Chain A
C-alpha cells in the first residue's frame, strides 16, 4: 500500500491550512480551553486506575488478535446478526456504502413528497464516506442528532474533533447558530437554555422521523450486536424510536466477544471525556417484535482498511477506538484545531489514518504534522505507536518522491543526500564544518544569522539563530591532544 495521493512532490497542504486556521484567535482559544479541561479530567480518571497499563495492554491485545483473524470474526458477526433478525451488507468503498444506504432508505421511506427524512447519530464513518451530501443529492434529508454534530451541521461547518466535533465553538457562537437555524425569536446563552432549545427541536424529529442511521463503537461477533456509547441519550433515541435502523461501521470495529466490551467500556470513557463510564451504553441485537426498529441493517465498510492489514505497522492504525485522547494531548492539534487536517479524522490519529484511507491533498504533508513528541502514544488507550507510524509513512512519502524526477531534484532530497554523504565521509564532513563556519559570514547580521532563504527561512522568521562557532568540538579535541603531546614530550 502507499500513501493515497495523486501529487508527486511534497505538497505543503497541512502547513498552509494550519497557518490559516491559526489566524482564528477565537478558535484557538476555544480549542486550547476545551482540550485543557478534558486533559485534566482524563488524567484524574486514569490515575485512579491502578491497573491502567495492563488494561491498555489488554485493549491492544484484543484488537491485535481480532485484526489478525478479521475475516473470521466478520463472518461470525454476519451470521449472528442475521440470526437475530438483522441484515448485513458489505461495502467496498464510500460509493458502495452510500448507494446501499440510499437504496435502503428509499425502500422503506417510499417516495414522500418533499423528500424522505432520516435521523443520524454517532457516525463519523458516515462523514468519512461523505454520506450527508450523497443523501441530500438523492433527495433524503439527514438530521444529525448528536448535539455537537447538530451544531456543526446547522453551522454549515466541519467537525474539528473526533469526540467533540463542535469543540471549536463556544456557547455564544452556538446560540447564534440556534437562533438562526431554529428560527427562534430569543434565546438565553446559558448551557441550560441551549440544551432546552436543542431538546425541543430534536424531540420533534425523534417522534416523527421513521428512519435512523447510526454508527457503532463496537460490533460483537459472538452475539451479532452493535454497541453505541454516548453521553446525551440522543443516540439511544435514534436506536429505539425509528421503524428502521441502518448502522454503518468500519470493519475494524468488530470485537470477538461480549466480555471484550468490559475492557473497552473502561478504556474509552476515561480516555475520551475523563468519565468513569459513559452515561449511555446502548447494545442492539437484531429485531424484537413490538419493540424498537423492526428492520435492522448493518453496512460493513472496508474503504481501504483491508489494505492496511498486511503490514503490522499499518494494521495497528486500525486499533483506534476513536477516543480523541491523542488530539487533546497533541501540541500541534492544540495550536491548529481540527480543520487544518483536511479530513474528518484530525490530530495525531488523523495524521496517520487519513493518508492511509483517503486520497487527499494533505496525504503527503500529514505524516509531517507532528514534532514526534510522543504525547499521543503516551495517552493512547490501545497503545498505538503513532510516532512510529508517522515515521513509517514519512518513509513512504520520501521513497515515492524519490521515484519521480521532480522529487529527486527537490532541495530537500538533495540536501539530505549531501548530508548523508558527508556523514559517511568524516574527512569531508570535517571540511564542510570549517567551510560552513566561513561560508556563513555573508549571512551574518551583527552577531546573528540573518534571514535565510528557502527551506530554512521558516526558522529565521520566528527565531534567532546563533552563528556556527569557528572551532568545532573535534577541532578543540585535536588541538588539545596536540597540546598534551607537546607537554608530554
Chain B
C-alpha cells in the first residue's frame, strides 16, 4: 500500500524520531511511505485557541496536499481529532461546497497510527521486540474523540519482551491541552503532578502514548522531578526489533 505520512508540525520540528519510526515500521511491513513536502500543520493550535479564521487556510492546504493519497497516516491523535471533529464544520461554515466535498472524500482515508495498523492493515503483531517495562497513557483525544479504545494496548501486548503495566487513573488528562498549559500554567502543573505521580507509581521505565504533545508535558514533569522514566511514542516502540536492540 502507498501510505502518505502527515507527520504533524510539532513532530516534524520537535520529535522527528516519531516520523522516522513510523516510516521504519510501515516499510518493514512492506508498504511504501510518501512524505508530501507541502504539508505543515493541521490547524489545531489555531482552531482550539479561537483563531478560527487563521485555521481555515491550513485546512485548505491539508486537503490540497493529501487529496490523492490512498491512505494518510498521522502519528498524532489530536491532529486526527481536529480533522474529524472540525474540518466538516469549518467547510460548512464557509459555505464552500467544493471544500466540503473534498473533506468528506478525504476523511475516511485518514488514520491515526494505531488505527492504521489495526483497522486498515489488520495487524496487531508488527514484529517488534522491546524488552522493557512500559506503561501507557491514553491521551484524551485518542480516548474520547477517536475512540481508539484498546488498539494501542493490543499492539503493545504483541511486542516481544515488553511488560505492559497498568497506569492508575489513566483516563485523566495530563494537563497539556495545547495553549492551556501556557495560559493556565498553575492548574496545568497540578494536573501534571497527578499524572507523573501515577506514572512513577507503575515502576515502568517507559511511558508511551499516541501524542507527543502529552508526552512532552509528561516528560517535562518527570525530568524536572529527576525521574529516569523516559517517554516514547507508540511508533518508536513498535519500530524496535531484535536487530535494533
Binding site for B on A (CB under 8 A): 12, 14-15, 18-19, 22, 331-332, 335-336, 365, 367-375, 377-378, 388, 391, 393-399, 416-417, 419-420, 422-424, 426, 429, 433, 436, 448, 455-459, 461-466, 468-469, 471-477
Question: Contacts A15-B186, A368-B179; is A398 near B49 (CB within 8 Å)?
Answer: yes
> For window 15-57 of chain B, which residues contact chain A by CB distance below 8 Å?
16, 18-20, 35, 37-41, 43, 45-55, 57
* A369, B183: Cα distance in complex, Å: 8
Q: Can you list 13 A-B contacts (CB < 8 A)? A: A368-B184, A373-B173, A374-B141, A374-B143, A378-B144, A388-B85, A394-B50, A458-B181, A459-B220, A463-B220, A469-B16, A475-B16, A477-B19
Instruction: Tell me which of A18, A465, A472 contacts B220 (CB under 8 A).
Output: A465
The contact of A423 among B40, B175, B192, by CB within 8 Å, is B40
Q: Is the CB of A19 within 8 A of B186?
A: yes
Report how many residues on chain B are interfacial, defined by Cβ distance under 8 Å. Answer: 66
Of A332, A419, A429, A448, the residue contacting B187 (CB under 8 A) is A332
Is B121 an interface residue, CB under 8 A from the partner? no
Of B20, B55, B177, B192, which is within 8 A of A370 by CB?
A: B177
Q: Closest Cβ of chain B: how far from A376's Cβ, in Å?
A: 10
A377-B19 Cα distance, complex, nearest whole Å: 32
Q: A371-B180, A394-B48 in contact; A474/B192 too (CB < 8 A)?
A: no
Chain B nearest CB from A13 CB (Å) reads: 11
Residues on B lying within 8 angstroms of A by beta carbon are 7, 9, 11-14, 16, 18-20, 35, 37-41, 43, 45-55, 57-58, 61, 85, 140-141, 143-145, 171-173, 175-192, 194, 216-217, 219-221, 223-224
Indicate if the CB atoms of B50 and A375 lie closer than 8 Å. Answer: no
A420 touches B16 (CB 8 A): no
A369 lies within 8 A of B184 (CB):
yes
Docked pose: A426 CA to B57 CA in angstroms: 13
> Which residues of chain A have C-beta atoms less than 8 A from B182's C-beta?
455-456, 458-459
Q: A374–B140 Cα gap in the complex (Å)?
A: 7
Whether A476 lies near B20 (C-beta < 8 A) is yes
Contacts of A373 on B, CB cut-off 8 Å?
Answer: 140, 144, 173, 177
Interfacial chain A residues near B192, Cβ < 8 Å: 462-463
Seed contacts A12-B183, A331-B194; 11 additional CB < 8 Å A-B pairs: A15-B184, A22-B186, A377-B144, A394-B49, A420-B57, A424-B58, A429-B40, A459-B185, A461-B189, A469-B14, A469-B16
Task: Give complex CA distance A463, B215 in Å.
Answer: 12
**Is the beta-carbon distance between B19 and A335 smaller than 8 angstroms?**
no
Within 8 Å CB of A370, what residues of B? 177, 180
> Which of B12, B49, B140 meets A474, CB within 8 Å?
B12
Do A22 and B179 form a contact, CB below 8 Å, given A420-B54, A473-B11? no
- Give the dominant DSSP class at A's interface: helix
Q: Which residues of A contact B220 (CB under 8 A)?
A: 459, 462-465
**Pick the contact of A18 from B20, B141, B186, B217 — CB < 8 Å?**
B186
List, in ascending order, chain A residues with CB within 8 A of B224's CB: 462-464
7 pairs of A and B residues whose beta carbons are closest in the complex: A371-B177, A458-B185, A463-B220, A394-B50, A373-B173, A462-B189, A398-B50
Most B Cβ at <10 Å: residue of A19, A331, A393, A474: A331
- Is B58's CB under 8 angstroms from A472's CB? no
How far, in angstroms, from A394 to B20 measured CA to CA in the complex? 35
- Residue on A with the closest CB to B60? A424
Residues of chain B lying within 8 A (CB to CB) of residue A391: 47-48, 50
Give CA–CA (A445, B219) in the complex, Å.
17
| A14 close to B184 (CB less than 8 A) | yes
Cβ-defined contact, B186 with A473, below 8 A: no
> Smallest Cβ distance from A416 to chain B, in angstroms?
5
Residue contact A419 to B183, C-beta cutoff 8 Å: no
Q: How far is the CB of B149 from chain A (nearest CB, A)?
A: 14
Are A464 and B219 CB-contacts (below 8 A) given A331-B173, A391-B47?
yes
Q: Which A residues are CB-close (under 8 A) to B55?
A: 420
- Does A371 contact B173, Cβ atoms closer than 8 Å? yes
Q: Which residues of B contact A474 (CB under 8 A)?
A: 7, 12, 35, 37
Task: Verify A416–B144 contact, CB threshold 8 A.
Answer: no
With a cutoff of 8 Å between Cβ atoms, the chain A residues found around residue B216 in the complex are 465-466
